[in-house]
Structure formats: C-alpha cells, structure tokens
Amino acid sequence: PTIVIATKNPGKAQEFHAMFEKEGIQIKTLLDYPELPEINETGQTFEENARLKADQIAAILQLPVLADDSGLMVDALDGRPGIYSARFAGDHNDAGNNAKLLYELTGVPAEKRTAHFHTTLVFAKPDRPNDDLVVEGSVNGRILGIPRGDNGFGYDPLFYVPELDKSMAELSMAEKNAISHRAKAIENLEPLWRDWLAK
C-alpha cells in the first residue's frame, strides 16, 4: 500500500520512509503534491494541528493521510517551544530556533535542562472526519549547551539522550528511529492502522 504523509519537512519524511519501508509500505509526502494549498496550523494542541493537516489533505487528495505534529518541550521554559517549535525564532529555520533555545537557557545548569520531544500522529481517511486514528510518542532528554552531531534535523544537535550518551544528531538514522518520539508513535500506530484502514 501507499500512505501519504502530510509533511513538507524532509527530515521527518526520511524517517517515515525508513520506518515504513521495512514493512513494504511506500510513502508519499506533500513534496509529491506541490499544488496543494498551505494548511495553517491554527490549533492549540499537537492533536488539533495534526488533525487539521490530516483531515484537509485527505479530503483534497481522497487518499488516507497520516499527519505528524511534533515539538520540543523544555521544562525550564514551562514547556516551550511546544506546538510553536517550528517557528520558535520567527520563521521556520533550524539554526535560528537552536540559537534562540540556547539563548533562553543561558545560565541554566545541566540538571535543570530536562526536556522531551513529543509526536502526535493522526491518520485520516477521506470523508470520515470522525474516524481519525490518533497515537502519541515521546522521548526524554536534556538540552546541551553546545550543539553536537550532524545527523537528523531541527533540535537534534541540542537534544542529549542520557541512555546513549549521545545527542540525537550523533545517532545514525537507524539509531534515532529505534528510540525517537516519532518511532514510539509509529510503534503505537503499528498494531492499529491496518484494521482501521480496512474498516
């Protein structure tokens, strides 16, 4: 089968590709449908924003669509940037976002720099807006004082995973896809989606 992932973020798209490929599932992303309108993420929660993306794109394409809304929650910042993670520094720019995060945590010691990444996935079928499948995943870590590693995307160079003694950006894609918030959400989706899609 083919699944449309409602993302334009190439980092996310690569991770979904790696995780679904081993199950024989092809994915398409919004990069394959350049004519689609921009979906405004006006919701107040990850789930609302993922639903906005999944429901609208499914209705337009008349295909099942899986949307990912994710973000970074930093305890010392009362959970920010949260749902605003993509645009923390104004526009969608990983370097600017990371610089702002480091700046806001200036002087905060390592043990108080706890954080987690969160993903909500919403799977939507065309014309069935009340039948969305919703799952979540998260991973705990700490915000580094200096970026480490070149892999991944977004806040990965600043997100330290204590169990592995590495930043997310120091993990290979396979390693990240074994422990990440997105991987856990997909794990939670795995036992559910085939029956849901068939019904």
Examine the residue annotation and report whether 165 is marked as an active-site residue of this protein: no
Exactly one of 32, 55, 68, 69 is catalytic; which is it?
69
* Count of CB atoms situated within 10 Å of the CB of 53: 25
The strand pairing partners of 68, in sequence order, are: 121
Q: Of 31, 5, 155, which is closest to residue 87 (Cα–Cα)?
A: 155
Which runs of consecutive H residues, i.e. helices, occur in the chain? Answer: 10-21, 46-61, 94-104, 173-179, 181-189, 193-198
What 3-state DSSP class applies to 93? coil
Question: In the numeric block, which tokens belong to residue 62?
Answer: 């008349």
- In the bound state with ligand ITT, the residue whose beta carbon lies nearer, of 8 and 116, is 8
Decide: is 51 part of the binding site for ligand ITT (CB under 6 A): no
Decide: is 170 part of the binding site for ligand ITT (CB under 6 A): no
Q: Are 5 and 26 in contact (CB under 8 A)?
A: no
Site string for ligand ITT, 81-120 (x = CB under 6 A): ----xx-----x----x-------------------x---
Q: Which stretch binds ligand ITT (CB under 6 A): 20-28, 62-70, 103-111, 184-192?
A: 62-70
- In the bound state with Na ion, the residue whose beta carbon lies nearer, of 69 and 156, is 69
- In the bound state with ligand ITT, the residue whose beta carbon lies nearer, of 72 and 115, is 72
Decide: is 69 part of the binding site for ligand ITT (CB under 6 A): yes
What strands lie across the sheet with 114-124, from one edge to the other? 26-29, 2-5, 65-74, 114-124, 133-143, 159-161, 166-167
Give the residue numbers marked as catalytic: 69
Question: Where does this chain bind ligand ITT (CB under 6 A)?
Answer: 7-9, 12, 41, 68-72, 85-86, 92, 97, 117, 152-156, 168, 180, 182
